[in-house]
Structure 1
Amino acid sequence: MSHRPFYPAGNEEFAADLRRLHSDCGEPTYSSVIRIIPQLDELFPLKHGRLSLPTSLSRSNISQLLNGARQASAAPLAVLVLCFLRCAAENGSIRTDPATGAPLKWEAILRAWQKRLRRARQQDDVRAASPAPNPSASSDDQSSVMPSMALADPGTKRRSADPVHLEPGELAVLGAHGAYGGVLAEQAKLGDPEAIYQLAVALAFSPEYRSKAVAYLLNAGPSHPAALGLLQESEQSIDPRHARTRAESLAEMAKAYGYEAAMHFFRSWLSRLDLADRPVTVEGDEAH
């Protein structure tokens, strides 16, 4: 199947499609992208207006998106796609509208990328929610963190996240569901992204600590492929129904590999989940 320039190429990995777009647009430099970001609202006007796009994107953010180290959310993706298209217009890689100077069909291209992002997030969720054989998982040491299949990559060294030191209230909530909560807390202090991811899944069930769970997922995200997929589009909130799917997956995996403490821990959280609970936003971002 031939590839339509500037549209998602249909690769299995989302980052591979982004790299193809980067190539289609003449491989613009990060400096060029950053230069254009503040001008996006002016360069790409919409008839009915829109919420303002982010006014900055760091070099490291761009690199992480292109390399697949970080999954995009809707707003940063829009910024990246539009900046690439503007660079393509400047270097002659794409035709422009004589009246506005904007790349032709840019709105259709952006919609195609937004659709591709939704599909990528669904794929991530399916991977994270479907236990698969994990050769690194072992029930020999019940005081260790159960490896999830998302990090089961033999021969690859696990990258660390920033150390997490839980508050007394968080420790109490985790401990109320079993000893495995303490195991996660101890390993989180060492920056173990697996431990941080799993405790964030658990804390997502607690309205009081859900905003902290968001922060922990953002921390673990660059090192744990499943972490950012649990966040909603804005990367500011978690739907507890989504967390339930992850907890069920972890409980099933723990049962399959003999991690009894982990199995009881996640089953305990699941038994108390209020399905009527609604998503909440990070403190300071509540709707008014």
Structure 2
Amino acid sequence: MELIRTPQPELADLFVKTLRRNGFAVDRREADGQHIIELQNPAQYEHAHALLQELINDLRHQQHRQPVEPLTGRPQPLLSGGWFASMGWVTRGILIACAVVYLSTYVIGYGIYNAFLFPRVVEGLASQPWRLLTPMFLHFSLLHILFNLLWWSDLGRLIERLQSGTQLVLVTVITSAASNLAQFYYSGPQFGGLSGVVYGLLGYLWIYGKLNPGAGVALRKEIVIFMLAWMVICFVGLSGVVANAAHLAGLVSGCALGAGFGFWHRGRQAGESGENQAR
């Protein structure tokens, strides 16, 4: 199935490389001075077309060579002036909320922190249910918040841009609740940070991308290895200062969500492909 054609061989090379890096099986041929790129699986047309359209739009708005996003290896305005503007409202909103809560300690003291901490006993959630999620907004040092927000901005933006803001909210809420409960039962209520959610997003994208390589969300292997190695290092050498239970619970819950939605999406694609063949 023809996906796109161009008279420029360099542009055709970029298209093919980008598509194959994101798991699409494509063929390339020349006819009448045009380089024609064809998609082997017609069911992937929508995702492949969206990927190329995004690449073309990026190239049009950049006069210099586009930097490569470290998470997926795809062309992205990650390090350009459009880094913040490229985030969706969910990614941007939670980033701003974390920053405001962190800075509030320098202006009004620890009132917000005390209101956002997990309750001293789990029964307290009955009267203050927001505390199941709000520990994710709490950070205790500049390095802590910078590390978490950099990962959040990249992982969250990927889900929000390629799936939806609603999907990002869903994954965030579930992994936040799972990681906060796990850390409470492991160490008590004195904890905070977005890292449990970060590991949740990582697990979600990792497994979803494995099950649906053509969806464009597959993470680079080096990124996954680094984050898993960091979690092991924290368990071994930083068990007293890092919320390890939150990391592990976030990762496991994120992987479970990635598997659930990944299998559902793959099944739906198979059904659509069968219908197209029947026609």
Structure 1 length normalisation: TM-score? 0.31
Structure 2 length normalisation: TM-score? 0.31
Structure having greater relative contact order (Cα 8 Å, sep ≥ 6)? 2
Higher strand share: 2
